[in-house]
Amino acid sequence: MSATAFGVLLGLGALGAAAGALTAPSLAHRWGPGPMMLTALAITPLTQIPLLLGSPGLRWQITIGAALFLQLACAGAAGTTQRSIRQIITTTGMQARMQAVSTWLTAGVRPAAALLAGGLGTWIGVRPTLTAGTFLLLVPLVVLARSPLRTLRQMPDQATAAPGTAGEPVPPTPPPPRTAAAAVPTPVHTEDARQNGSPGGDAA
């Protein structure tokens, strides 16, 4: 594969990731976020087959490019949806920590995975290493298939999210009930008071 063909192939993959992220909301609304993510994770290992069977030639370059487009489209759709779910169900004060842990787990493992892939490719060969990587793509599918998320038919919203999460703000504290102002007593003018207050009356 020439450098130009390789660059075009990677560009197709990037377009697939963008397409998956842009269509994720409509797909999740139509099929449900759980089934949509499950389907995307089931398709992903199948997109590795052209890479495992490919050989030099324009036909295989086009096939591998289309498979990469589909693979990253599935990854974009599933990734966008699961991140949205995490943001909705995580309390506002913990969202930054949750995202930091997720980023550390996904991005932090890449250098180790690259070293492992390079070592296996040198030791057992490229195709066996790619085959092992294809089987590893089944792990998230199995995890999601055994998770309650597989039956999630709609995105969590204010009706299902707990108060204080990103989906629903904490309701304001109601103001205390208003009490009636204390009545100002009016003086009672008795007959004795009128006499005492009259000129010449008893001041005591």
Instruction: Report if residue 118 sits inside a domain.
Output: yes
3-state DSSP assignment of residue 91: strand
pLDDT of residue 203: 44
DSSP structure class, residue 94:
G
Helical pair 95-108 and 58-89, crossing angle rounded to 10 deg: 150
pLDDT of residue 92: 87
Token pair, residue 73, equals 């489209």
Instruction: Report if residue 18 sits inside a domain.
Output: yes
- For the chain, the farthest-separated pair of C-alpha atoms sits apart, in whole angstroms, at 129
Instruction: Report if residue 180 sits inside a domain.
Output: no
pLDDT of residue 144: 92
Token pair, residue 10, equals 């990677």
Tell which residue, 81, 92, 90, 88, has the closest CA to residue 170.
92
Instruction: Report if residue 171 sits inside a domain.
Output: no
Q: Domain holding 29: CATH number?
A: 1.20.1250.20
The parts of the chain modelled with pLDDT lower than 70 are: 158-204
Helical pair 110-123 and 126-136, crossing angle rounded to 10 deg: 140
Task: State in Å, rounded, how far the first CA of the chain is from the last one.
Answer: 119
pTM: 0.71
Instruction: Report if residue 79 sits inside a domain.
Output: yes
Domain span at 15: 3-151
Q: What's the structural domain count of the chain? A: 1
Token pair, residue 91, equals 């309390």
